[in-house]
Structure formats: C-alpha cells, structure tokens
Structure 1
Amino acid sequence: MAIPQHLTKIVATIGPASRSPNVFRRMVEAGVTVARLNFSHGSYADHAKTITMIREVSEEMDVPITILQDLQGPKIRVGELPPTGIKLIEGNSITLIPIDPNQTSDRHYADAITIDYPYVAEEATIGTQILLADGIFELKVTGLEGNAVYCEVIKGGILTSHKGVNFPSLNLRLPSMTEKDQQDLAFGLAQGVDWISLSFVRQAADVKRLKSLIAEHGKTDISIIAKIEKPQAIANLEEIIAVVDGIMVARGDLGVEMPPERVPMIQKHIIRRCNEVGIPVITATQMLESMIQNPRPTRAEASDVANAIMDGTDAVMLSGESAVGDYPVQAVEMMTRIASEVEKDASFINYPASRTDEVHAISEALHAISDVIDFRCIVAFTATGYTAILASKERLKLPIIALTPSINVYHRLNLVWGVKPLLLEQEVNSFEMVIQQVESYLIGRNLASQGDRVLIVGGIPMGVQGGTNFLKIHILS
C-alpha cells in the first residue's frame, strides 16, 4: 500500500452507518486509521462483532487499524417526565430533587424535575449554574431546602426525559469510572483493544486508577487517552499530561461546561502542550457535523478541521458523521482532502527536546539533518513505539515508517502523526539486520526505490524503551 499523502490521522466512530465490512473497507481506503468504539451505545455482542470485522479488514488489506475503546464515564440525567416533556419558561421557577432510590420506579412530579444525583442540594449554592440537554437549557439556583434545589429558568424550552445535566462550577462527587465502565474495560481488554479513552477526567488520580485496573487484568501494553472535557481537567492539565499516553480535546462536553468562546484557545493550548512533550492528541466533536445529513461540509467546518491540523493535532475525529450519518465514506474523504491540502503549506513547529538525554538528542538530530538533506522517509525501528513517537514529535513533513516486531505496537502506532507502522517478522538484533530489513521492506512494498535516501533511527538491541542509540543516513541499493 502506498505511503499516504496526509500525515494527520483520521479517527472514525463506528456505528450503524459504518460497521458493515464493505463500508468500513471503503472508509479505510479513504483514509481512516483509527476506529473508535463508543461504549455509551451498543451491546457487547455488537462491539465484539465490530472488533472482529475491523481486525479482518485490517488483515485483508494488510494495513494497521487502531481500535480505540471510548468509556462512557458517569452521566447525570433528568428522570422521567411526561411523554411530551415539560415547558421551561424563562423567569419562572422550577425545583430539582434527587430521584428517590427507595421508589420502585422513577416517576415525574407536576412541579419538579428529578435527577439521578443524590448530592445536588449538598453541593449547590445560591447562584450555581445548571445546564440541561447539552447546555440548551439553563437554570440558576435561587434557594435550597432539604434535598430540594429551587431554580430560576434562565434559558427555556421543551425538556424531555433523560436529558443530561451539567454543573460547570461544581467538583462533583462522582468517580471517573462507573461500574459499567469497569465491566466495559474488562470486555475491551479481553477483546484486545489498542487504546482506551477515559471520560470525566479531572485529575491525574483518575488516570492512575484506570492504570491500576488495567494492571489487575494483567495488561501492560494498553495506552490511555484522557478526555479533556471538564474545567477541573484544564486546571490540572499538566499533572494529567504527565501520567497519560495521549489526550483527546473533547470539545462537545467542554463547550457545555465552559463558555464556548473559551474553547478555541483551550484547544490550541492543549495541542501545543501535547506537541511539546511528545504525546498524541486528538481533536474531537462536531468537526464535520453537517455531513451527518449533507454530502458536503460547511466552509466553517472545513476551516475548523484545517485549523486543528495547522495547530499540530495528531488526529481529527468523526463522531456522528461516521457512526450514524448518511455519508460516512464522504466524510472521511473530506477529512483526507483537507489534511492533504493543509499539510502542503503548513509550517509545523519543532519544539525543543522535553528531556536532556541521548534518546531525545538523537530525535532532535532528525530535524537538523533533514534540513540539509532530502530524504524519502524516516525509518524507525521500535519494539515499544517510543522511537517512532519521538520521531513524530519533530513534525517533519516526512512519513515515518515504523518497523516493529510487536503486533500490539503495530496497531497502536497508527494513531500517531506521520507514522506508518509495518510489522516485522522477527526482532532485529544487529546493525546488519537493520540494513537488510530496511532494503527488504521499503523496496519490497514499493514504499521507496533504489537510490532513495532514507534516515534510519533505532536501538540495538531492540526491546528496551528509551534505548534509541543510532542514527544512519542510508541510500537504498
């Protein structure tokens, strides 16, 4: 398969519109590198079938496809309301009360809205902002009595049952992982997913908790993405970045929890920090939202995708566009065209090494050498993925061919900017084998031709994270 023309990766959420092998195959041909499984929806049987399909298409097409399991996280919701909903009238009063766990069934009240969070009256204060239905409706707390929270309607409309509830200013007494998430995690690990994204992250301890649960299942090579969607996560961003493998800018919930005008600069800041430390970052939510129903995006959406790419995001993500939309393949094709066009002229920033050691020094040298000599590609030998990720951090406009003997690393690296993983049949334990494998794989797969100059980086022996110890300019013969 030819080296892709675009270096930015494309994440597609798999759902009813895209889980057939024929449609998914066309999406991969169009540019999808990561398949996201949203565990807010679907049964285990559905997800198992989808994972099998993805792996079969990957093997059939001889391309790596990263599987990203997205855990749902806790969600506070409105209880039962009349079938037609209730009308929230601006300026009027409404009362929130917790659902009574002793009731045999949820029921609605004529003068109140029930929610499934028992501590609302303990944590709210006069003036607390409450958002309903992804921020469409807004309430302000005016009084507290017992377990009742009295509110004024600031933005009204028709509210229906089970809509989401957000408290932007409160640090809620909720775990980042529910019992459902723990069950979903066990399922995903048993199915062999490559990355796990954690919702409702507020501090580094949330990520560490997930790591400990993964370890309890005997897994050591699963990478974690922290979804940044809460104000507390922004406040604790540095400590979260220090313990996680990747970041997702989850702009949907972030835009509900924070003023929308703040989100663009927060997005840029998160991408920059991830680029500086060298971990992958995904920009997500509503990137080509109108393509759920239309074959072409709005100009604003195209510009949104382009700006994220210019900022240095590793990947751009499709949600409803590919999961339930009418044009999943066309949405991927549009992402690919935008990425290909932007990358021609974009000037990506090369940040200084984040550590002062031999490995980072070699990585920095890639940039200096490529400024002087033209190369067909960079070849990174890596058993853990570390060398390829460091090479990606340099943001050179060169494809990075990552040769790895690990099937897990092979799948996992396809999320990383500019990296095209290839699976080695054996580990490379001598410099002579390095040259032999470069010649065999690049020429044999039509990734390069005789006479092309390539830049090789890696570590001998393989298998040691942080063991990168050589850099070689080589002309293919």
Structure 2
Amino acid sequence: MQDAAAETIGTAELAGGLRETLLELRAAVTAEAAAAMAGWAAPAERGGTRAQLENLALYLAMRRHDLTGLQEDLAALGLSSLGRAEAHVLGTLDAVIAALGALAGQPQPARSLPRGGRRRTRMAAERDEIFGADPSGPQTRIMATLPSEAAEDPAVTGALVQAGASCLRINCAHDGPAAWRAMAAHGRKAAEAAGRDLRIAMDLAGPKVRTAEMRMPKSFLGREKDSHLKKLRKAGLDPRAQGPKLMPGDRLVLVRQLSEKPKLPEATLSHPELLLAARSGADIWFDDGKIAGRIADCDADHALVELRGLPAEGVRLKPGKGVNLPGAPLDIPALDAADLAALDTAVEIADVIGFSFVQTPQDIRDLRGSIAGKLPEGRPAPALILKIETGRAVANLPRLIAEALGGGPVSVMIARGDLAVEIGLARLAEIQEEILWLCEAAGVPVIWATQVLESLAKEGHATRAEATDAAMAQRAECVMLNKGPHAAEAVGFLRQILGQMDRHYAKKFPRLGPLNAWHAPQEA
C-alpha cells in the first residue's frame, strides 16, 4: 500500500508540474500567434477562414517550442502527447491541461475542447469542391494528367475517369486552347456517362527557366550516329541546334546570344535574368535535376558551367529543359505573357487553376486580379492550387495561405520535382511532412505530386518503392499522376492502395481496426 501511495503522490506531482509548464506554453503560444496574425494581410472572410488562420498561427507558434521532453512525460501518464494537435491546437492544449489538473487534484473544465472532427469534415468538403466528390472511393482523390492525344481521342479521358480519376489536369505548357477545350469536353462527357463527379484543372506553366536556343560546335557532331543526323537533316533541322550530347569532362556556356562558331556548347535561356543571379561556385541543375553542374565563371552575359557526374555513355541536353539555380533570387514575374494568354481559356473551362512557381502574396494578388479581369459574367472564379516548388515558397507558405484563403477554395501542391532540385533531395522528405502538417493546421487540402507510380504509368510496372510512396500519399487530400501509356492502370492501382490505407490512417491518426493478416496461429 505504501508503494501505491508513493506512486499516486508521484503521479500527482508530475501532473501538477506538467500542468504549470503547459499553462506557460499556452500563454506564450497565444501571444506569439496573435503577433503573427497581426503581421498577415487580413483576408476576406469566407465561412470561417479567420478561424483557420488563427489555428495555423497557433500551430506555428507551438512548433517553435521544443516539446519532445514534454511528450514523453505526457505519454507516461496516458495523455495526448500533442502529436496530433494540428486540427485544433488550442482545444488540444486545453484538454490536456484539464486532464493534468484532474490528475494533480486540481480539477477544472477545459476552456475549449478539440474540434478536430469538425475541422476534418470542413476540409473534406473543400477537397470535394476542388477535386471532385467520390463517395464510393478512397478518402484521397486522384488527379490524372492528360496527354496531347486526349484532345483527339475521347477514349483516353474515358479510361482515366472509369479507373477512378476525379480530376483531370491539363498542362498549359503544352498544346493550345483548341486542344484544351476538346480535352475538357471529352472529360466532362465521360464523367456524365459514368455518373461521376469531375473537375478540370489547368496548370499555368509559370516562369520556369528553361534552355531556349542551343548551338554546339561542329566537332560535337562526331558524337552523333549517322542515322540520327540524317533524320534531322531530312526534317530540315539544323543538327547543331537540337541539343548536344554531353560527355564526362564537358563544359557548357549559358549566353544571352549564341555565337556563330562556338567553341563549347552554348544555350540561351527562356529567362536571361538567371545570368544576373548567377555566382561563381554556385551549383546549377538541368533537366529537372538529371544533369548537375557548377558555375566556374560568369558575368551579366554568360555563365561557364562545368558539368559533373555525367554517365560514361553521355547524356543529351535539349532545348526546353528546366534550369535550376537553387537559392538564387530571380526577379521574374510570376505570370508571363504565355500564362496570361492561357488564362483566357482557363477562366472559361477550368474548375481549378494551378499556379506554378508562386512565391509571394503579391503573386497571388496578381493572379486573382488577372482572373477577375477575364472571368465571364456569372461564372465563379476557379479554385487555386499553390504549387510549392522553391525554397522561397516554402518559407513564405503561411503568408501565401493567409493571402489566398479568403478569396475562394485553395489547395497546396507539394511539387516534388522542382522542389527537390531547389532545396536538395535530402531535405525533401522532411519538408513534405512539414507542409502536410502546416496545411492540416490551416484546413487547406494538399496534393502529393511528381513521379507517383511513374514506372507503372510509363512502362506498365510499378517498383516497390513507388508502391510505398503511393501508400504514404494517402495522408494528402489528392494525389497527382503524370501522363503515360499506362496511366489508367496507374489510376486503378493507386485507387486500390489508397482504399487499403484508409483502413489504417486518417492523416497522422492511426485507426485501430482489426488486422487481417493473422486470423489464426501461423505455422512456423
């Protein structure tokens, strides 16, 4: 009995100390959150958006404190360790403080109670408004990217809708208005025939820096197969302008204007502003991170790049491939002429507009202003997808959400392709988790994107790592698949995986349903 009494006293003392610590934490968090809210632009009120932003501010404030020590003590008392507080920060803190008070012999009611279930219901409604409803499907929606042939062949969109896609994505970097209209029409017709809800998303290409014109020395033609050269010449194309085959030890020059007789391969850029941001010693990447280099020398008109890690058989760099200079501040407008032209069609046929390379609240204001000026009378403004593709966008994400949230439905895409190049592959896994948590706190749906089941969509078979990645994507509200000849099969496979994972997880919350792998003792 003495041991039990001592244990009871120890528990009460521990609970009392933790309660005081959490009361101090609550006071600090509410003060820090109020300061953050004061610094954000006040959005237009849209059905509770202020409450969403207040919870986001509270979550950010709480996560500035190291809670790891507290968590172990709370778990030892059988209480919430605050690890699932995203949906309602203040209510979770208050519930734990009240429970600690009861254990410490100081009972008092919680000032507020967690309303995570209500918040998740709201986010589910937002998810369905942006990505389409799918009552018989998994909790996570599937967005499928349309290939160019979808404009001519209705069977392409039909197969994707039948397989389970509730949102079809049109990439405005390809094709044109006539093709986009045909794709959308085929998709809507297929959805009507199947009795399914469908959304059309259109991605603005954004100010992605790409290789533009290219020219290589005549000596580089010796690396090409005769059949390849004959094919180009037969098509009336200059072989020196179709992209160089780069080998280990090669160098490349980025220039404002091509030389008539270059000594090294040269390339101009879609946005020459990158040359102004270049610095000697900086890393640079081409073709979505497939080709690495380091700037050896540069000025306002050129950058000499020493290429690194090229395979022994070489690799081809073509015009139109992405160029990333991680960490460099590029003074490029978020909307270029091509984006503004694409908006003319998007405001008429799209339910959702993807905003590529958004980085600042002003970018969102510019897009919303352009949409308002083009929107047909009586048509609601499309929802927005904020595509997070740079380190600057990650750093500004709370401010981006604060700016966008009041103006209409908004979601966030973890665009893992460019983002991985910009922040480094080693940081990607950590950052995508943090974006998921932050967006849950804000009540904003998330899209898990880039190379999901890529091998299956393109080659007809998935890797084990891709299957695991697809399962992890269940924590997002939507998963985006890229195009490929087996895209419909990829949609069906993804739908199956997502449905299986719904049995086990709701965001970070494990569901303790029955396990079916061990119905009876197994033989050794």
1:306 deviation in Å? 0.6
* SS in structure 2 at match of 1:287: coil
Q: Distance in 1 between matches of 2:173 and 2:275?
A: 27
* SS in structure 2 at match of 1:80: strand
Q: Check conservation: 2:452, 2:469, Cα contact below 8 A.
A: yes
Q: Check conservation: 2:371, 2:381, Cα contact below 8 A.
A: no
Measured against aligned partners, the alpha-carbon deviations of 1:347-370 in whole angstroms (never above 9, x if no partner) come to 4347xxxxxxxxxxxxxxxxxxxx
Given candidates 456, 459, 466, the residue that maps to 1:291 is 456
Match of 2:339 in 1: 181
Q: Distance in 2 between matches of 1:313 and 1:164?
A: 27
Given candidates 348, 353, 357, the residue that maps to 2:507 is 348
- The alpha-carbon distance between structure 1 residues 23 and 152, as it changes in their structure 2 partners (threshold 3 A), is closer
Mapped pair 1:13 → 2:145: yes
Measured against aligned partners, the alpha-carbon deviations of 1:48-80 in whole angstroms (never above 9, x if no partner) come to 111111222233333220110111112322222
Q: Distance in 2 between matches of 1:231 and 1:314?
A: 23
Larger Rg: 2
Q: Check conservation: 2:471, 2:501, Cα contact below 8 A.
A: yes
1:266 deviation in Å? 1.2
Match of 1:262 in 2: 427
Question: Whose strand proportion is higher, 1 or 2?
Answer: 1
Q: Check conservation: 1:12, 1:32, Cα contact below 8 A.
A: yes
Q: Which runs of 5+ in 1 are unaligned?
A: 101-105, 351-394, 398-477
Match of 2:306 in 1: 152
Q: Distance in 2 between matches of 1:31 and 1:108?
A: 54
1:211 deviation in Å? 0.7
- The alpha-carbon distance between structure 1 residues 341 and 80, as it changes in their structure 2 partners (threshold 3 A), is same
**Equivalent AA in structure 2 for residue 202 of structure 1:** Q
Deviates more, 1:109-118 or 1:266-275: 109-118
Give the root-mean-square deviation of aligned CA atoms.
2.6
Q: Check conservation: 1:17, 1:326, Cα contact below 8 A.
A: no
Match of 1:32 in 2: 165
Given candidates 279, 282, 286, the residue that maps to 1:132 is 286
**Equivalent AA in structure 2 for residue 55 of structure 1:** R
Q: Distance in 1 between matches of 2:390 and 2:162?
A: 35
| 1:270-289 matched pairs, under 5 angstroms | 270-289=435-454
1:93 deviation in Å? 4.5
1:115 deviation in Å? 2.0
- The alpha-carbon distance between structure 1 residues 293 and 108, as it changes in their structure 2 partners (threshold 3 A), is farther
Q: Distance in 1 between matches of 2:158 and 2:260?
A: 46
Under a length normalisation based on structure 2, what TM-score does the superposition of the two structures give? 0.60
Match of 1:313 in 2: 476
Q: Check conservation: 2:246, 2:317, Cα contact below 8 A.
A: no
Measured against aligned partners, the alpha-carbon deviations of 1:395-430 in whole angstroms (never above 9, x if no partner) come to 999xxxxxxxxxxxxxxxxxxxxxxxxxxxxxxxxx
1:121 deviation in Å? 3.8
Q: Check conservation: 1:128, 1:169, Cα contact below 8 A.
A: no
- The alpha-carbon distance between structure 1 residues 121 and 189, as it changes in their structure 2 partners (threshold 3 A), is closer
* SS in structure 1 at match of 2:215: coil
Q: Distance in 2 between matches of 1:17 and 1:286?
A: 21
Q: Distance in 2 between matches of 1:212 and 1:95?
A: 39
Match of 2:188 in 1: 55
Q: Check conservation: 2:353, 2:382, Cα contact below 8 A.
A: yes
Given candidates 61, 68, 80, the residue that maps to 2:214 is 80
Q: Check conservation: 2:244, 2:318, Cα contact below 8 A.
A: no
- The alpha-carbon distance between structure 1 residues 85 and 278, as it changes in their structure 2 partners (threshold 3 A), is same
Q: How many residues align?
A: 341
1:109 deviation in Å? 2.5
* SS in structure 2 at match of 1:212: helix
Q: Distance in 2 between matches of 1:284 and 1:29?
A: 21
Q: Distance in 1 between matches of 2:202 and 2:135?
A: 27
Q: Distance in 1 between matches of 2:260 and 2:335?
A: 27
Match of 2:397 in 1: 237
Question: Whose helix proportion is higher, 1 or 2?
Answer: 2
**Equivalent AA in structure 1 for residue 340 of structure 2:** Q
Match of 2:268 in 1: 115
Q: Which runs of 5+ in 2 are unaligned?
A: 1-132, 217-238, 405-409, 513-524
Q: Check conservation: 1:200, 1:230, Cα contact below 8 A.
A: yes
Q: Distance in 2 between matches of 1:337 and 1:28?
A: 15
1:228 deviation in Å? 0.5
Identity of aligned residues (%): 30
**Equivalent AA in structure 2 for residue 109 of structure 1:** P
- The alpha-carbon distance between structure 1 residues 114 and 3, as it changes in their structure 2 partners (threshold 3 A), is closer
Q: Distance in 2 between matches of 1:36 and 1:331?
A: 15
* SS in structure 1 at match of 2:169: strand
Q: Distance in 1 between matches of 2:338 and 2:305?
A: 31
Under a length normalisation based on structure 1, what TM-score does the superposition of the two structures give? 0.66
1:238 deviation in Å? 0.9
1:146 deviation in Å? 5.3
